[in-house]
Amino acid sequence: MLPLLANLIRMLRSTPANTDIVLVRIDAVPKKEWLHDASTIHDASNHAGGFSYLPGPLPRTDEVREALNQGQSVWTLPRRGRTREFIQGVESLAGVVWARVRPDTTLPPLAALAASAVHIRGWDDDA
């Protein structure tokens, strides 16, 4: 854990000051512990830019973990229960980022339920 934390702090220290950082709590981590850790990371990083936090936690689900471990898109998962909450959390995070990058426009709808990996034009070699 310590090497991972040291790498994170090094990365944050070298992040340009005009970069806003958004931290996200995963549901499995108790809120009080996460707030303490996030505060410690912020203080240790000496990052001159802004830190903010996604309002709610992202739930931890076996379906999401399995999809990611198999290289699948979470957009291919059935939208029910905690997996639906996870995807809604990702949409919230996308909204936070979009509002900072393009404040004069609204976030376009994210991917619908797909039977295969989501294709995003321009992100692969065939575009």
Q: What pLDDT was estimated at residue 2?
A: 65
CA distance 104 to 18: 19
d(CA 35, CA 54): 12
47 contact partners, CB below 8 Å, separation of at least 6 = 12, 13, 15, 17, 19, 21
Q: What is the pLDDT along the chain (127 residues), one digit of tens a residue?
A: 567 778 888 888 888 888 888 888 888 788 898 888 888 888 888 877 778 877 778 888 899 889 888 888 888 888 888 888 888 888 888 888 888 888 998 888 776 765 555 555 555 544 4
> Is residue 99 within a helix (H) or strand (E), and if so which, with residue range?
helix 81-101
